[in-house]
Chains A and B, each alone.
Chain A
């Protein structure tokens, strides 16, 4: 299984990334390659992302209706399920279907993530492992070892200046805030609030632990996500929405 994963997904991504590095300016080759490849992957995944955004938006618009049903049929779970399915059907939605675009994207992101870590090869063991994944292309071998310096970062080492951690956490918070709809349910609202803070905080912490090539990829990915969100949904989404769901729905109208 691991061999198949390497053959079909990891090796092409890794070698593609190194081949891309070879045509970029030597002084920032790998940092730029991470950013460019993230953009390329994001562009390739655009149809899936758009589908996911539309589904999420439709699901969010249905929330008041669903919450009403939850209140109405709080004691009859079976009826609640039937009524909810009816609402989904009327809207032409499949509640599980909106997960598919995300599931399809996941292996691609994992491969990109693994490629960055493998190419940076910080220890002799990592470098030996890298040699097993490379094609015999001259252009790929010519980039080894990759230049891990990019701006103030050594991509093979964690960035302890906090700058990257703040950027990663900040952009992640912004992206989440743009997409998270305020909820009428106070329990759900507190959960969303906690997630909104917890995820950026966790990724900020990861940034201090992982080689900075990886947080650079997260940062690029977040920035592209924010831009996509801005242009696709036409604005800053829920960033400026008041916390009350009633006001939020009025604001959307």
Chain B
């Protein structure tokens, strides 16, 4: 394990910022701390970086206990949300900074910086001032500067937060490829769930200072531990559960309105499930009273055209609102508001949530 974090805790003026946070990251892997703002993800990262002193717990990097070590002796590459490039230095001098501080000879600095400039497609900008380059270029410089001294671990705090969507997606791919090819272990902080899904080997979802669930992106999406994870990651429709029967074909839940829905063989939460959850893109809409058997009927309230798909907001007979994301094209006709449709889903796609 390249990074091991044990029972990290931090309070700010009496309120809990981080509590009992533990995780580990294998060499060469990218772990994302994902959560809403105020969930403690940045505080956790800053404790690993050494800028925030933990009240309790320990941090190990490459087998070395760094909990009480000052940040400059932890040998971590850190990329800050605001880029934190030195405005009084050129692109080249920014990237050379960590090597100069380490008193490397000039003859070594120049080729190492040049290599990163090439790798990050920045060679043409080497003598530019920081004020003369774009946001995406700044992010590349920040990344190059954090990697030039070959730290075993790279920490990134919402590095793409200030960029527009297209550039963000481009850089996600680039950062991921770079991290892979250099084999550097990375911890990435973001509140953007799509970004977390696209980049991570593993994701730790945080809320109120704690890790709620940790796993690979598909584990978290397919088997969310609770309502928070399911809603935060991708969004989910929730139906309050009134009763649960365990039958031969699996579990069958009775939801509001006395509607019975088969749920396959899902994991049943410890405290008893109170919700049936179904992802909007796994809801199918069929002709009401048609040949395909529907679980229940619902009325379309409004629809939004998303390009590749339609997002319908519907209300069932019990008055519960939910959404369905249906691909557009082929023989499918779009549904107008007020139309009544049948609603169904594959039993295995339903989740029982506490």
Q: Do A and B bind each other?
A: no
* A residues neighboring B (CB under 8 Å): none
* B residues neighboring A (CB under 8 Å): none
